[in-house]
Amino acid sequence: MRLAAIFLAASCLAGAGAAYAADPIPVKIGVLNDQSSLYADLGGQGSVWAAKKAIEDFGAAAKGLKVDVIFADHQNKADVGTSVARQWYDVDGVDAIVDTPNSGVALAVSGVTKEKNKVFINSGAATSDLTGKACTPNTVHWTYDTWALANGTGKAIVKTGGNTWFFLTADYAFGHALERDTEAVVVANGGKVLGKVRVPLNNADFSSFLLQAQSSKAKIIGLANAGGDTINSIKQAAEYGIVAGGQNLAGLLIFLTDVHSLGLKTAQGLNLTAAWYWDQTDANRKFADEFAKANGGKRPTMVQAGVYSGVLHYLKAVEALKSAKDGAAVVAEMKKIPTDDPLFGKGEVRADGRHIHPMYLYQVKTPAESKGPWDYYTLKATIPANEAFRPLSESDCPLVKKG
Amino acid sequence: MSTSPTTAAPPAATVRTPRTGMLALFGIAAVAVMLVAPFGVYPVFLMKVMCFALFACAFNLLLGYTGLLSFGHAMFFGGAAYICAHTIKVLGFSPEIGILAGVAFAAFLGLLAGLLAIRRQGIYFAMVTLALAQMFFFFCLQAPFTGGEDGLQGVPRRPLFGLIDISKDINLYYVVLAIFVFGFLVIYRTIHSPFGHVLKAIRENEPRAISLGYRANQYKLLAFVLSAALTGLAGSTKVLVFQLASLTDVAWQMSGEVVLMTLVGGMGTILGPIVGAAIIVTMQNYLAGLGEWVLVIQGVIFVAAVSLFRRGIVGEIIAIVSYYRSGKQQP
Amino acid sequence: MFELLGIPPQALFGQLLLGLINGAFYAMLSLGLAVIFGLLNVINFTHGAQYMMGAFGAWMLLNYLGIPFWGALVLSPLVVAVIGMVIERTLLRRLYHLDHLYGLLLTFGLALIIEGLFRRQYGSSGLPYDNPLPGGTNLGFMFLPNYRGFVVVASLVVCLATWYVIERTKLGSYLRAATERPDLVQAFGIDVPRMITLTYGFGVGLAALAGVLAAPAYQVSPTMGSNLIIIVFAVVVIGGMGSIMGAIVTGFGLGVIEGLTKVFYPEASSTVIFVIMAIVLMVKPAGLFGTAK
């Protein structure tokens, strides 16, 4: 009976004139991110474009994969994020969700993904818990995390003499995590934390806090915040002559779009850690040019580049398995094959789901140094892959068996 | 057999009976539809609609039937959600006890907030509730057990009463449906009880109700607590559905959203909030791909509701129906 | 947080001054809201969006037409005020005979539309606007950027002028009379509807002016208004709905209180205003400067 059915199906296909030897493997990828507010510029539609570009560059159709991309806005609400994720998995047949900035939403989606045994490739969220205590066999964290940012910026700055710190911390879990991780790095490298102040989220005026930072006489003011909060604190620091007074700012999480929105005049001199910068290699520039053409001249952020690279690697694993249906198996395959793509180079996905690659320390150029729009960063140091991320020995991920 | 209009007495009794009968019939039909709905529509989506519909109904009890605009109902919704999530996840309560704990907390919070707020009128009432809700939001942001902006995630779906396996969406759906129908019936009974009539009297003319010997403040307080408790029921149920409680539930935007639902559906109508909640939740769900436009569309609906159909969708339908019934005598 | 209790007095002085600067924004915004509420009985939820439009106006004038900050200071509020008057004429006017609630809901909807459109067009992370008065003065106890000093002075002048016009001039007396008995004032031959339109335009213009003043100090972003509006509401309620002087004094006063909270208990600085609001409403329901109705 079954055999007959297969023959029937095969003959139907042949009759329809299908050129493929076998049915194409259906794969559906959902880009779930912020399309309308805080993180829309660093991910948003740019991430959707990056996912589609990855499918095109992979040559999915020629390799027998039929890949669809859909997207939705999670509005930075965990309940919206989970309900979209559930609906995608249950009804729309989505096999993998990518991007998803906002740590709260990311953790929620990671939980749903495990429950439904699908794949979650996160590029946009910062929390190192995704590959720490909340790690799952279905989640891969691609681009960066709080540990890597703290480690990169903290270590590099202390080593170059910035050994006294004052933290301006956004008063929520992400800010606390960033502050905690950075403080540990600063202290471990012989630095000292002179003080810290917890600032309510979406606070517009930072002058009071900056004044406190100023009177602490710390050499470095660490900005453990994100988005609009970072932008406003940097802008006002310039106004209050913080940098002119000899203190330096260290932005712990700054995206290319943040620098763009600040303008070089205000942002110059800022140290920051990032996973990817468009003007670093020829391959990056090529990607960025195509991105700019499709997205109104904007350059891609590391999050968007991460989406591209993550999707590419995901498709390789699906191709190897010839199926996208068993999420844990696909992720296991992603961990088995080494990563290699034009944007992030060679690397690996570790047992805890962490994608390992080098991180980079950049400094924002002065207006005089910049040759044109979006020419913003100078590379100051490369943090090699084996130092960039939290070592497995310190991991509290249940998937990692400690010897 | 023909009856002239003049002999259609006594009006109160005869008009009432068929209407109640019709309503009951309508209710049964609606429940029947809801029983089979999850086979056609995605059940998690339906559960979300029911949670918000219950929330809006509870809110409407206060706004539509008592005339009190609370701009802080998110604190009951989110507060109950946190308590329910915490007791189930951390203390290991079974879901029914968790929900009860959430409801009890919301009722208690409602009592506290009500005692402070009902002494004020109109816009000041709204502002006091807003102020209290903002303080509660701050508490939730700071308190360690809420998990800050990550929220409480991964709340387990343990068997209800130790018997019913609610880890399957379809089973949970019927539980949520039962909770919703229960909450709805409580509200329906309240509105049509003598208590409900006193509330309406207070809404229409408070000094007059007081002069008739009703202690308006006690009635208002009771209505406030009841509304808070039912809001808590909705918030707790939502925890079971989404397995999480987050700051979104206690933020002031949530208080605004429930006003929108009630307004669009029709405040002071029994079905209005349900329709409103269904429309808004559907929009949020299915327009999620439109990005920024969701905000604009929501705004347009707000403006249109206020400028064009002030009675809300259900309110306008009732007005049209009664217009034709009454022989086109009133507009 | 307690190690900060021992901060030296001159640092405290600096914080007080900063509070005053922030208070300047609160004062201008709550003043506009109070004027609109006093005369139109509308709680203008669009105020935050109009503040944001003022800031964007300045940005657009600079980037599309090359008009610098000082020109924008006049032009942008004018343009926003005209848009406001159109809204009043076409939408708000129909709601005056209804409960306050409807005005609030309508303006809330408008705020969503405006914010959504700006996000659509300009993204969410905001745009830079250069400081027109760079540099600063060292006051001994703190470094005061010139621009911030200018903001305080400008806002004080605007606030006091508004107060003077409404409370001390003939035009102001017409306005106040029209609030109490529009029918009588109309009977005296004064065009009350036009007066209301102009008043709304003025209130909105004040919001936009605050927006222009904010552009160099804060990020010009579509969400800048919605983050602020709830706080400004609280300021107006504490001062007493519709009270002009109340809005000004409370605006500056709360700025200072918030500033001090930022030193002693920074986590609570966004909540302290609501605590004060709840207390004030309990003790003096009409607000500090309001008259009970």
> Does A127 share its domain with A175?
no
Interface contact A214, partner C, CB < 8 A: yes
Could you give the angle at the alpha carbon of A373 between the alpha carbons of A372 and A376, nearest 5°? 85
Is residue B257, in this structure, part of any structural domain at all? no
Q: Answer whether residue C172 shows pLDDT above 70.
A: yes
Strand partners, A120: A97, A139
Number of domains in chain B: 1
- What pLDDT shows up at residue A9? 47
Specify if A392 maps to a domain: no
- pLDDT at position C122: 82
> What is the total count of domains within chain A?
2
Chain A touched by C183 (CB under 8 Å)? no
Does A310 lie in the same domain as A263? no
Q: What are phi and psi of C97, to 5 degrees?
A: -80, -5
Q: CA A313, CA B35: separation in Å to the nearest integer? A: 44
- Least Cα distance to B92 among B147, B148, B158, B151 occurs for B158
Q: Are residues A343 and A364 in the same domain?
A: no
Instruction: pLDDT band for C7, please (50, 70, 90 cuts).
Output: low
- Interface confidence: ipTM more than 0.85: no
Q: What share of chain A is helix, strand, coil (3-state, %, to 5)?
A: 45, 20, 35
Query: C21 and chain A: CB distance < 8 Å anywhere?
Result: yes
Whether residues A213 and A135 fall in one domain: no
Average confidence (pLDDT) over A82-87: 88
Q: Are residues A187 and A42 in the same domain?
A: no
E strands, chain C, in order:
136-138, 143-145
Diameter of chain C measured on Cα atoms: 65
Whether residue A401 lies inside any domain: the answer is no
Q: By the CB < 8 Å criterion, does C257 face chain A?
A: no
Q: Which of B36, B317, B26 is nearest to B188 (CA)?
A: B26
Q: Which domain holds residue B236?
A: 41-250
Which chain C residue shows the shortest CA-CA distance from B251? C230
Interface of A with B (CB under 8 A): 35-36, 40, 44-45, 70-75, 77-80, 82-84, 86-87, 90-91, 103-104, 107-108, 111, 127, 134, 171-174, 176, 201
- Whether residue C214 is predicted with pLDDT greater than 50 in this model: the reply is yes
Chain C: nearest CA to A214, how far in angstroms?
10
Per-residue pLDDT, A320: 92
Instruction: Give the CA-trace dihedral at B287, B288, B289, B290, to 10 degrees.
Output: 60
Tokens of C26: 């609160």
CATH number of the domain encompassing residue A200 = 3.40.50.2300
Residue A48, token pair as written in the block? 């959707």
Task: Indicate whether A163 and A259 sit together in one domain.
Answer: yes
Report the relative pairing of strands A345-349 and A355-356 from DSSP bridges.
Answer: antiparallel
The mean pLDDT value for A115-125 works out to 93
Q: Is residue A390 part of a domain?
A: no
Q: What is the mean pLDDT of each run of 10 residues along chain B (331 residues)?
A: 39 48 79 82 89 95 90 94 93 90 96 88 83 88 77 83 83 92 93 91 88 89 95 94 88 87 88 91 75 79 85 86 71 47
Chain A neighbours, 3+ Cβ pairs < 8 A: B, C
Asked if B230 has any chain C CB less than 8 Å from its own CB, the reply is: no
Q: Hey, are the CB atoms on C113 and B299 less than 8 Å from each other?
A: yes
Residue A398 is assigned to a structural domain of this protein: no
For domain C2-129+146-283, give its CATH number from 1.10.3470, 3.30.460, 3.30.300, 1.10.1760.
Answer: 1.10.3470
- What average pLDDT does chain A have? 87
Co-location of A258 and A365 in the same domain:
yes
Q: How far is C261 from chain A (nearest CA, A)?
A: 10
CB contact under 8 Å between A263 and C128, yes or no, is yes
3-class secondary-structure state, position A204: coil
Q: Could you list the residue range(s) of the whole structural domain that residue A45 is in?
A: 23-144+281-353
On whether residue B180 sits in a domain, the answer given is yes
Could you tell me what percent of chain A has a pLDDT over 90? 50
**pLDDT at residue number A137:** 94
What is the Cα–Cα distance from C50 to B164, expressed in whole angstroms?
53
The answer as to whether B268 is a domain residue is no
What is residue A68's predicted lDDT score, i.e. its pLDDT? 93
Same domain, A220 and A261: yes
- Domain assignment of residue A325, yes or no: yes
Q: Which pLDDT does position A8 carry in this prediction?
A: 46
What pLDDT score does C225 carry?
Answer: 86
Give which of C232, C168, C169, C214 is closest to C27, Cα–Cα. C232
Point out the residue among A80, A82, A173 whose CB comes nearest to the CB of B149. Answer: A173
CATH of the domain at B220: 1.10.3470.10
